[in-house]
Structure 1
Amino acid sequence: MKKIRSYLFTCLLLLPTSVVSIISNLNTALAQAVVQVAVIVNGNAITNYDINRRMAFLRLQGRDDGHLDKLARKELIEEMLRRIELNRHNITVNDAMVNGAFSEFAAHNHMTETQLAQMLDQERVTPEHFKSYIRVQIGWGHLVGSRFRAEGIISEEEAVQRMLQNGGLKPAVNEYRMQQIIFVIPLKHRSSLLDKRRHEANSFRRKIRGCESLRQQAKGMIDMTIRDLGRILEPQIPSEWEKSVLATPVGQATPIQETTQGVEFLMICSIRKVSDDRVAQLIFSIEDNRSSKVPKVSVIEEKYMKELYARAHIQNL
């Protein structure tokens, strides 16, 4: 055995320096590639690789307080709890929304998407880790928003008192009546059908003559759904649609968007100013949230996270 080891060592010495370097680098890479589970949250694993990437992300944000490992674990545990809650409510954030946010972040920082991706790779964060973070942030925002609409609205009595204090004036806001047009794409065929359905949606969108004739125009079309969204107040428009809805005149359609269901756009049927007790409740609640030192939405979010922690099983390994 000693002779064999001696022979192998002699052969290694005879190898060109470049080959020895390659072997050394390969061994280092293999050692770094060993991924181990560090935390289990409700049966879902967080690995040491996840933690290392989050530490790099925190460092990139200038949040290196000397306890990066602890902070990275805390953030990833909260992120996992939020991801589990999103799944429980069947909330999915599609790739188009994530990629759009990634692109906006790059533009805001005067970079192209490619430059941002390269920078994230160089800092050992990786674009995949950042996009995963974005996906959870968007979905969690929807959940907290739903909680705020359910719990953060002031009572009708309080709204009446506020109006009396303002001389009886009721706040006014735009009310939209809209229809949602969905060109459905089955998930298993998404990659092969997406371009085709985008073309069909844009073609149909250009031919629309108004909400009244919409269903008649859609007759005979396959895998296409029209939903009447009813009347929606401007502050209630979902954030992912807000910009395009506000820029679209009555009788026209918003640009298309890719969603989990397929390719969609909204038809603006009417816009009118409304002012009643329901509007007052909503507007006063939003004003209170904006003016408060600790916004009510933040209080609701903190309470929500405490609930998730209370029923969670977290195991640090």
Structure 2
Amino acid sequence: MVLRARTTTSARATIGARLATTLGAAAIALGCLIAGPSVRPAAAQNVVVMVNGTPITSYDIEQRARLQQLVSHKSADRNTILEELIDEHLKIQAGSRYKVGIDDGDVNSSYRDMASRMNLSPDQLTATLGRGGVSDRTLKSKIRADLVWQQIVRGKFQSSFQFRDKDIIAAAESKRKDDQPIAAKISGYEYVLRPILFVVPQGASASVVEAKRRQAEALRARFEDCERGLPLARQLRNVAVRSQILKNSTELPDPLRDMLDRTGVGKLTGPETTPNGIQMFAVCARHEVKLDDPALKKVRQEMFVETFEERSKQFLKELRSQAMIERK
């Protein structure tokens, strides 16, 4: 089985944004230090665990603990750190099995994006980590595992992330705080309208205005569709057929939207008096459109994260059950 060979920009952005947020405060604090502990050479590396033949050393645990300390400002539990490292090794190994190709360029790109979100250059981020006693390789190793794992889970469980519109709407409805149904916010109509104006001279008498209104009503009675009705209107004296306009139902007040719906496609709205004359609108088309509601975007993202976590835990449990994990 071959999954996508390279990570996507959105995947790097997701990983980078999450890690940049958690490391941001640490970067500010460490950036103020003139001097501090530097990264200690990996001189004595005692093997603590073997994961399918790949070692996890005491140095790996120490480095991850230091990184965790920078992120959370709390002492990291050694057993928790060790289990996270075991999981990451299993993720990387699964990536090799599924032929997920995350190269150094992908990792460095995510590292660079992360630094940018913290208003740092990659070298400055590396220096910041170094002042906290953390090698950049430690963070890049975590980035690589996250990128690999995201591709594996999304590829292996692809159908689980194809959410139906009705499920998204139902989830959004359960969290709705106002009185307007979600369905009303995400569906609407686009109207194609052609204004038709019966020009009335300024200062014309009431009888002239009324005559124009009767002329407009006569056209309205004969108007069957825009294809034949618009040329008919153009033949009338002092009648202007203006360029089409598009109106979304969400842009219209309720009374006007109701009037257009009652008029129907291919018909004319009732005549209205304007400063320039008697105006009607030909409703030439009405198309149903899907609207992009922020609430749905948020719910869709929440559903994705929840599903990803479920599938991730499920697959990690499977990998652990099949792995040779030797604790020294």
Class of the TM-score when normalised by the shorter of the 2 chains: 0.3 to 0.5
Structure number with bigger Rg: 2
TM-score between the two structures when normalised by the length of structure 2: 0.46
TM-score, normalised with respect to structure 1:
0.47
